[in-house]
């Protein structure tokens, strides 16, 4: 079972992709991929040593590989920089480990409008995960408002710069989980009740951990959030900005928060959308997400009842979805290619659809079609979440997700504690609680020591904009004021909407965030934007 959104240290939630990308994926008729696989390109840029200026090269082909098109009026450039595998974090500003040592490569993409005027600098972006590609996200955000990207008011003032964090996609990627094990993991019963089923999931997670440990050993501890946040300062320097302007979604809010603590004097403006409370431990974060997904699912059920013309599961969508999962446990529907829609795949289709309100109708249609013997819709939703390609291969999204989560995770509950939580949360959060509990198994037997990140105030930083969505399933809204309070300089912007993350989805949210990014105008205290 996965935990996504943010790392999952003893302080994170378990599921989540950035809302922007999730919305792109499940919107009707959309064919954009979640995270494009790394593609080696003829003439790929050489790697700039630490502190040296990167060598940018034109790379419109990257935009075409990621999104199927390059945006008109946008120039795309790519570069690669080297960062120390381990930064020295003992006292004062972070520095490279004395004597140099081994490095990671960090891939960058810069999208620059041909209409750019009065340039402010670079807007660094990260989509979350952990494991999401910032290079891909910069491409998506550059496509313009008609495709859910950034408004021209922002793209005409900033270069949009995406980076793949260490271990992710094009940046020295972590690759240690076989496609077979990923299929087994996603397809596994989300609530293994019997001792044999639970022990089987424990064994699967142990096998995955052993494979990663055999390949990387102690280096697994190098992929934690603090080290990646320190890489962000190297990116800031590489693009020539004196101070950082940053847009981080979901887990990306944790990267931004850690950066602000380490380099408060180097912050220009940070937008942290889909906020995580970094002080939560693993159990607290998982239970919070169980609540969040149950709340979002309840909203879907009510929508279905009120919109029977668009929801074939009416009048009782909860019963229909629960029945679909239960039936898949004993008699999974087989697709045309022979693949079985087990309870795990049906469950992840539900998870995927709740990241955006547009996904609700897609879920209703998929579950209805499953009842008629067609699992294609279920697989389409679940595969988008999992990063599973049509040929059965996977991106390294979850390899990186696991490496980051477990590097961050200080507190790793015992198997006995996880089993206890599974039963407790089954009663409290019937559809999502057991899965969130057994998701804690992923780091329970991880073979490397953790490398926890700091938590605390960003003393000396300017106001930081923390954005939360009241119906967010993956980073429940309660974490938004908590993160703002922890930083000490956070200003909360609330969207009374559905789905994971808010910007740029409505005029109210977009205007508030744009004014902050461009003019450093902080929204009024307590500003709440309506759903529509």
Give Cα 143 distance to the centre of its chain: 20
Copy the structure tokens of residue 359: 């996904």
The yes-or-no answer on residue 500 being catalytic is yes
- Contact (CB, 8 A) for 262 and 230: yes
Query: On the CB side of 115, how many CA atoms lie within 13 Å of its CA?
Result: 10
Which residue do the tokens 């381990």 mark? 86
Give the closest residue to 238 by CA, choosing from 187, 324, 163.
Answer: 163
Is the C-alpha dihedral spanning 226, 79, 18, 343 positive or negative? negative
Using DSSP, state whether 161 is helix, strand or coil. strand
Helices (H), 246-342: 251-262, 282-306, 317-330
Pick the catalytic residue: 136, 451, 472, 514?
472
Render the burial of 225-252: b for 16+ CB within 10 Å, e for the rest.
Answer: bbbbbbbbbbbbbbbebeebbbbbbbbb
514: preceding bond cis by omega (within 30 degrees) = no
Which residue do the tokens 């780091």 mark? 443
The yes-or-no answer on residue 519 being catalytic is no
Beta carbons within 10 angstroms of residue 217's beta carbon: 11
DSSP one-letter code for 27: S
- Contact (CB, 8 A) for 108 and 135: yes
Beta carbons within 10 angstroms of residue 73's beta carbon: 15
CA-to-CA distance for 34 and 363, rounded, in angstroms?
18
CA-to-CA distance for 250 and 6, rounded, in angstroms?
6
Copy the structure tokens of residue 204: 């699967």
Copy the structure tokens of residue 406: 């477990």
Helix (H) or strand (E) holding 270: strand 267-273
Which residue do the tokens 């008011």 mark? 153
Pick the catalytic residue: 136, 164, 221, 500?
500
The yes-or-no answer on residue 58 being catalytic is no
CA distances in angstroms from 522 to 4, 13, 254, 456, 513, listed in the order given: 30, 28, 20, 22, 9
Pick the catalytic residue: 171, 172, 185, 250?
250
Q: Which residues are catalytic?
A: 250, 472, 500
């Amino acid at each position: 079972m996965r935990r996504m959104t943010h790392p999952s240290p003893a302080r994170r939630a378990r599921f989540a992709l950035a809302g922007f990308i999730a919305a792109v994926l499940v919107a009707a008729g959309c064919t954009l991929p979640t995270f494009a696989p790394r593609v080696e390109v003829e003439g790929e840029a050489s790697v700039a040593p630490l502190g040296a200026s990167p060598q940018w090269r034109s790379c419109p082909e990257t935009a075409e590989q990621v999104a199927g098109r390059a945006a008109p009026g946008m120039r795309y450039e790519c570069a690669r920089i080297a960062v120390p595998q381990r930064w020295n974090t003992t006292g004062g500003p972070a520095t490279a480990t004395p004597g140099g040592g081994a490095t990671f490569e960090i891939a960058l993409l810069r999208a620059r409008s041909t209409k750019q005027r009065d340039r402010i600098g670079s807007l660094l972006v990260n989509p979350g995960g952990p494991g999401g590609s910032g290079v891909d996200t910069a491409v998506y955000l550059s496509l313009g408002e008609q495709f859910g990207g950034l408004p021209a008011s922002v793209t005409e003032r900033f270069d949009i710069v995406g980076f793949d964090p260490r271990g992710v996609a094009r940046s020295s990627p972590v690759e240690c989980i076989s496609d077979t094990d990923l299929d087994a993991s996603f397809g596994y019963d989300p609530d293994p009740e019997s001792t044999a089923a639970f022990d089987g999931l424990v064994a699967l997670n142990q096998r995955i951990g052993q494979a990663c440990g055999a390949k990387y050993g102690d280096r697994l501890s190098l992929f934690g959030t603090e080290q990646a946040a320190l890489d962000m300062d190297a990116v800031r320097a590489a693009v020539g900005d004196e101070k950082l302007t940053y847009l981080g979604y979901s887990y990306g809010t944790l990267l931004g928060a850690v950066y602000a603590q380490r380099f408060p004097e180097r912050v220009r403006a940070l937008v942290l959308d889909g906020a995580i409370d970094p002080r939560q431990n693993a159990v607290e974060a998982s239970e919070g997400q169980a609540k969040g997904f149950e709340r979002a699912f309840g909203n879907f059920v009510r929508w279905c009842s009120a919109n029977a013309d668009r929801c074939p599961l009416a009048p009782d969508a909860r019963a229909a979805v629960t029945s679909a999962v239960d039936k898949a446990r004993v008699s999974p529907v087989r697709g045309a290619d022979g693949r079985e829609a087990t309870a795990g795949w049906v469950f992840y289709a539900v998870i995927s659809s709740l990241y955006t309100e547009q996904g609700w109708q897609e879920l209703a249609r998929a579950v209805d079609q499953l009842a008629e013997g067609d699992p294609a819709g279920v697989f389409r939703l679940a595969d988008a979440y999992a990063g599973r390609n049509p040929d059965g291969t996977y991106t390294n999204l979850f390899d990186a997700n696991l490496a980051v989560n477990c590097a961050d995770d200080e507190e790793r509950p015992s198997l006995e504690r996880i089993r206890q939580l599974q039963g407790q949360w089954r009663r409290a959060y019937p559809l999502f609680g057991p899965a969130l509990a057994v998701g804690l198994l992923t780091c329970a037997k991880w073979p490397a020591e953790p490398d926890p990140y700091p938590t605390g105030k960003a003393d000396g930083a300017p106001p930081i904009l923390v954005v939360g969505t009241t119906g967010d399933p993956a980073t429940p809204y309660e974490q938004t004021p908590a993160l703002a309070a922890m930083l000490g300089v956070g200003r909360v912007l609330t969207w009374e909407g559905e789905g994971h993350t808010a910007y740029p989805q409505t005029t109210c949210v977009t205007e508030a965030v744009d004014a902050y990014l461009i003019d450093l105008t902080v929204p009024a205290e307590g500003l709440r934007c309506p759903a529509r």
